[in-house]
Amino acid sequence: MASSEQELIDRARAGDAAALEALLARHAPAVLRFGQKMCREPEDAKDVLQDALLAAARSVRDFRGDASFATWLFTIVRSFCIKKRRISKFAPAETVSLDDGSTAASRLASREPLPDELAEGHELTAALSRAIDELEEGSREVLLLRDVEGLTAPEVASVLGISVDAVKSRLHRARVQVRARLEPVLPSTEQLVTAGPDCPEIALLFSRYLEGEIGQAECAAMDKHVASCARCRAGCDSLKHTLAMCRSAGPGGPVSPEVQALVRKAVRELAGRPL
């Protein structure tokens, strides 16, 4: 039976190298995904992964559990991403696509697409990657941490060193922008037509609803309007679709041999053993 996160943390803090390796391997794919989308350069992302894993290995004894291990690790990762962007010689003109087979983030849906879904799925995946890449940096990292990696809003706030309100403000903006950029390749049933006089900013409102920011009365009014308005119903459906695609790009799938090797390297370097 797989060890629990807390058991691995306790054993790693006590000096158990096997537990430390298992713990880092559990979180390494998320570190690499985040690094790939924030650094933009695959080699930079690998450097960030290696540096972050070694830093986490060196300081795991100091981890006190004030935040989740994932939150603590993402804070380390982000600091290395910032440092890498400052010193990197690379400034790629192209964006890194989530569907690029050379990246760990390419492992998306858990099932194989049906033949008639393949072309559409590829186009949507590529469009999602471009939409995320085009976000302003602050919005992009919030969307990646909240909607791709699944951290809570307070956890994202802890990683970024900002308030929960600021996280939610950036998140709503990012979701609306990504949904808008995806619209040309969304199914026709999810594309918006001209707004009616009573139509709210439905994508923004629905995002606030998902984060528990609207009251019962406002929620009931939104439900009533959506039930009678095809446009706003399409807007809610398209945002749900967008968020589902983001989540499919997050946790799941096996750890690649390359990432496993980097985890082992970090643990061995910590122990001072030859590689």
- Residue burial 69-104, b: 16+ Cβ < 10 Å; e: rest: bbbbbbbbbbebbeebbeeeeeeeeebbbbbeeebb
| CA distances from residue 162 to 79, 86, 138 in whole angstroms, order as listed | 14, 21, 11
pLDDT score for 222: 92
pLDDT score for 267: 87
Query: Which of 242, 273, 233, 255 minimizes the C-alpha distance to 172?
Result: 242
Q: How confident is the model at residue 45 (pLDDT cuts 50, 70, 90)?
A: confident
pLDDT score for 3: 73
pLDDT score for 148: 93
The pTM of the full predicted model, rounded to 2 decimals, is 0.79
**Mean pLDDT across the stretch 7-27?**
93
pLDDT score for 253: 62
Contacts of 227 by beta carbon, 8 Å cutoff, 6+ apart: 233
CA distance 19 to 57: 11
Q: Which residue has the higher pLDDT, 270 or 227?
A: 227
> Of the ranges 99-108, 110-119, 139-148, 200-209, which one carries the lowest mean pLDDT score?
99-108
pLDDT over 90, % of the chain: 54
Residue 251, number of CB atoms within 10 A of its CB: 15
Domains and CATH numbers, the chain: 1-107+254-275 (1.10.1740.10), 113-251 (1.10.10.10)
DSSP 39-64: H-SHHHHHHHHHHHHHHHHHHGGG--
Instruction: Determine the length of the chain.
Output: 275
pLDDT score for 123: 82
pLDDT > 80? residue 99: no
Query: Which of 55, 63, 68 minimizes the C-alpha distance to 12?
Result: 63
Q: Which residue has the higher pLDDT, 51 or 258?
A: 51
Contact 48, 35 (CB under 8 A): yes
CA distance 118 to 195: 32
Q: How confident is the model at residue 32 (pLDDT cuts 50, 70, 90)?
A: confident
pLDDT > 80? residue 89: no
Q: What is the DSSP-derived secondary structure letter of residue 256?
A: P
